[in-house]
Amino acid sequence: MKEAFENLARAKGYYHRHDILRAMAVFAQGLKQATDSSMFGTEKMRFTGQAQEIVQLLNRTDEVRTHHPGGLEYSSGNEKTLFIAVVQLLKKLQDEAARASEKETEARKLQIDRLLIRGTRQLQTKNVKEALESFREAAALYVDEHVLFTIIGTRLVDAGLYKPAITFLSKAIQVDDNNDNAYLALARARMALGEPDQACVILQNAWRQLDRPSLDMALLFAESALAAGKIKTAKAAAAKALDIDPLSAKAKKLIKKIG
């Protein structure tokens, strides 16, 4: 019975922390444990008193009032009936919470899409400040949409807004370090800002992280290394590009340029 009393204490604690669903869950566990054991005398009186207190607390909540306007009922020896009622109510509340969560997620993703569209249109009309505000607002809604930061960063790079793009693309790599598009866009931004050394570092990290570097990555690595004066690295990257695609005219041109 020790576990049953511990669960009643936990239920009371969760109630006072306003975690009603968890309070119900551990209360149900306590009731089940009491049902499965034998209680007599003072132990039975003690359990009944504590269970009645928790029922009174739960009956004050909107969760119970909504589904049981008259409140949950309990008397000594009625643990099994109360257990069934609490479990049924808990399941109903959990289902409602899941449906609400799905609706919230759908609404959040829809808002992200709207903000991306708005920001892209604002970029097209040269409203840079407004576009950045839209993109930042979209980023603030991020939960698990890892590609979001790559989309924003790439659109900023395409618009020539390299410095703000770096912030989003760095975040893209932080949330998904296997995102080759984010590495490429970030390296392009650094190259556009006249920072080939930084671009080399980014692409070296990508090279180590990714199992198979793409042709575009090998070509950009060769270009950035050449611009940074790292001839040996540039040759190796260009050779890798040609190995990936033996027909690549750009790789052949780079190898010839590097010498």
Q: How far is CA 133 from CA 119, 152, 188, in A?
A: 8, 12, 23
d(CA 94, CA 25) in angstroms, rounded, equals 11
- 35 is a domain residue: yes
Task: Decide if 159 is inside a domain.
Answer: no
pTM of the model: 0.69
227 found inside a domain? yes
Give the number of C-alpha atoms closer than 13 A to the C-alpha of residue 44, restricted to the C-beta side: 11
- The last residue of one of the domains, among 65, 100, 135, is 100
Q: What is the CATH classification number for the domain harbouring 197? A: 1.25.40.10
State the DSSP code for 212: S
Exposure string for 214-240, b = 16+ CB within 10 A, e = fewer: bbebbbbbbbbbbbbebeebbbebbbb
Tell me whether residue 166 is in a domain: no
- Cα separation, 104 vs 206, whole angstroms: 35
Q: What stretches of 21-124 adopt beta strand conformation (E)?
A: none
pLDDT at 38: 77
**Listed residues 79, 100, 121: the one ending a domain:** 100
Whether 140 is covered by a domain: the verdict is: no
What average pLDDT does the chain have? 93
pLDDT at 35: 86
pLDDT tens column, 227-254: 999 999 999 999 999 999 999 999 999 9
- The two tokens of residue 86 are 């609490």
Question: Domain span at residue 79?
Answer: 2-100
pLDDT per position as a tens digit, 35-73: 888 777 888 889 889 999 999 999 999 999 999 999 999
Burial status of residue 142 (CB atoms within 10 A of its CB: 0-12, 13-18, 19 or more): middle
Residues 8 and 95 in one domain: yes
Q: Is there a domain that residue 8 lies in?
A: yes
Q: How many domains does the chain have?
A: 2
Same-domain check for residues 6 and 94: yes
Query: Do 173 and 181 contact (CB within 8 A), yes or no?
Result: no
Domain boundary among 74, 100, 126: 100
- Say if 132 falls within a structural domain: no
Report residue 179: phi and psi, to 5°.
Answer: -90, 95
Q: Is residue 127 part of a domain?
A: no
Please report, for residues 118, 125, 135, 155, the alpha-carbon distance to residue 121 in angstroms, rounded to integers and kept in the order given: 5, 6, 11, 11
